[in-house]
Structure 1
Amino acid sequence: MNDGRKRNSGDGPRGPAKRDGKDAPRRSPKRGTKASGKAAQKAAVQLGPREKAEWSPLGGAGGPLDKTKDEQRIAKLMARAGVASRREVERMIADGRVALNGQILETPATLLKNLDGVTVDGKPVGEPEVARLFAYHKPSGLLTAARDPGGRPTIYDRLPPNLPRVMPVGRLDLNTEGLLLLTNDGELKRLMELPKTGIERTYRARAFGDISQEQLEDLIDGVEVDGMRYGKIDANLERRTGRNQWIEMTLTEGKNREVRKVLEHLGLQVSRLIRTRYGPFTIGDLQPGDVSEIKRGDLERFVKELG
């Protein structure tokens, strides 16, 4: 699970530090290596007019999100349009929910030049808009899911109503808070989640127990926990008060509950976990529940660097 933000003293972003009266030392924020860390700035979400995807250099010929090919698989086109991820679109097709000119599609391998005549549950699918990326400060206690059969609140219950249809880039656990990136573009989501891109994520964990910096430094070679191998983790002990400490961890894999499992493997109990950075994008001064759009130029430079 994986800072570069301007840190306030104590617990995490802003206010919570005041509650236990303990302050964390000030440290220089890490910076992303590929784009400006100012990309996620505190601001109200400003939604401009609808823009067609062809406007964006993100979709330029030969680029990672190239939209100039004559024909593409329908699952890819629908993901680009923000309907769902490719895998989810494939499930929709298997369930008979997707049709072309009134005919139910049977395979996600269908090749199309555009989405004219494509419907989901009888509703037309619009053409892709320009790729956009948003930084959201996810509060603890929300699921990163569209809905929960058990009725627990999700991020979509709390997101501002003026956002376009967005999908999360990766996930944060129910009780993990901090930076969650959101995009309207399924291909951008896929690109940022691919393990081979090696995008760093930084977390801060408050944990109880005994640990040394030397033990944390051993994680740089990876660690195996209950048969699962976790790759390189750059971990640093920020400060300690008694048996309570704040630990910063940067990794690139982001496997399910990775930070919690690794720290529990080391004999620690995690009481709070905050993601502060995803690639060059940071939580900055965003307060819980705040959303800010990443600047177009920062996003384009980031995608170009990913190649």
Structure 2
Amino acid sequence: MERLQKIIAQAGIASRRKAEQLIMEGKVKVNGEVVRELGVKASANKDQIEVEGIPIDREEPVYFLLYKPSGVISSVKDEKGRKVVTDFLEVEQRVFPVGRLDYDTSGLLLLTNDGEFANYLMHPKFKIDKVYVAKVKGIPSREALKRLQQGIRLDDGKTAPAKVKMMSIDKKKQTAIVRITIHEGRNRLVRRMFEAIGHPVMKLKREEYGFLNLRGMNPGDVRPLKPIEVKHLRELAVTKPS
């Protein structure tokens, strides 16, 4: 038996806080009876749970790591018929990406059907490091990279301090490879950060997510997360300072 809001969150219907709101608004039923109290417990497998008239079909939680290729949409479907990340998985469960990588960005992406797990990882207060490698136009100066390290002001606010390391430069082609570590999840953030210092990104790849990496994988490869990895991700999220 689990609290009703937890079951709803794990089913990917809403965050736990939103689920609590739905319960208090009388939009959740258990075995045909409206529930308005947050302390109610139920069985996801034995009880009939409905949210706004739609039954919850509780699936066994699954967790995957995908090496997303460039030119793929971080979604479960695309109106234009373009390839999406779920095309790389042949599973019965209705999985979805945890966060997103831009269409033209490659790298490590997690997919799951566990809504509560996804909400933990994506919540702004849980500061999980994400490591990107960017090929940029021009060769950034030390002063430019220092601006990224200290945090740079964008249209939607100042970025958190980042870890930045110059990996290599090509003086002939006037390009550079830069490794940057951030923990924020704002839209196209890495690209906007480099644009702000005058060095647009030409190619971008996310190589690490927390302790996870892409070693031994090629674009398009997918593997299930090990139970110990799922456990560590949960611990990493909930123990990080807000």
TM-score between the two structures when normalised by the length of structure 2: 0.80
Please give the alpha-carbon distance, in whole angstroms, between the structure 2 residues aligned to 1:84 and 1:155.
20
Structure 1 or 2: more strand by fraction: 2
Please give the alpha-carbon distance, in whole angstroms, between the structure 1 residues aligned to 2:104 and 2:92.
24
Instruction: Tell me by how many angstroms 1:284 deviates.
Output: 1.5
The residue that corresponds to 2:116 in the other structure is 187
CA contact (8 A) 1:203 1:249 kept: yes
Deviation by residue 1:78-126 (Cα, 9 ceiling, x = unmatched)? 2313x44438x86xx7xxx9865468x7989795523422357987533
Change beyond 3 A, Cα 1:252–1:118:
same
The residue that corresponds to 2:219 in the other structure is 288
Structure 1 unaligned blocks of 5 or more: 1-67
Q: Which amino acid aligns with 2:217?
A: L
Instruction: Tell me by how many angstroms 1:195 deviates.
Output: 1.9
- 3-state secondary structure, aligned to 2:82: coil
Please give the alpha-carbon distance, in whole angstroms, between the structure 2 residues aligned to 1:145 and 1:293.
18
The residue that corresponds to 2:205 in the other structure is 274
Please give the alpha-carbon distance, in whole angstroms, between the structure 2 residues aligned to 1:142 and 1:295.
25
Determine whether 1:144 maps to 2:74: yes
Determine whether 1:79 maps to 2:20: no
Please give the alpha-carbon distance, in whole angstroms, between the structure 2 residues aligned to 1:109 and 1:146.
31
Match 2:49 to one of 110, 113, 118: 118
Please give the alpha-carbon distance, in whole angstroms, between the structure 2 residues aligned to 1:109 and 1:256.
34
Question: Which residues of 2 match residues 223-302 of structure 1 at below 5 A?
Answer: 223-242=152-171, 243-302=174-233
- 3-state secondary structure, aligned to 2:125: helix
Higher RCO, 1 vs 2 (CA within 8 Å, ≥6 residues apart)? 1
- 3-state secondary structure, aligned to 1:197: coil
Give the number of aligned pairs: 230
The residue that corresponds to 1:30 in the other structure is none
Match 2:99 to one of 161, 170, 177: 170
Instruction: Tell me by how many angstroms 1:165 deviates.
Output: 2.4
Please give the alpha-carbon distance, in whole angstroms, between the structure 1 residues aligned to 2:104 and 2:29.
39
Please give the alpha-carbon distance, in whole angstroms, between the structure 2 residues aligned to 1:257 and 1:249.
14
Change beyond 3 A, Cα 1:111–1:142:
farther
The residue that corresponds to 1:134 in the other structure is 64
Question: Which residues of 2 match residues 209-228 of structure 1 at below 5 A?
Answer: 209-228=138-157
Change beyond 3 A, Cα 1:238–1:151:
same
TM-score between the two structures when normalised by the length of structure 1: 0.65
Q: Quote the RMSD (CA, aligned, Å).
A: 3.2
Please give the alpha-carbon distance, in whole angstroms, between the structure 2 residues aligned to 1:227 and 1:166.
30
Deviation by residue 1:169-219 (Cα, 9 ceiling, x = unmatched)? 211111111100112211111111122221000001111123123421332
Deviation by residue 1:136-188 (Cα, 9 ceiling, x = unmatched)? 011111111222333333212x2221363222121111111110011221111
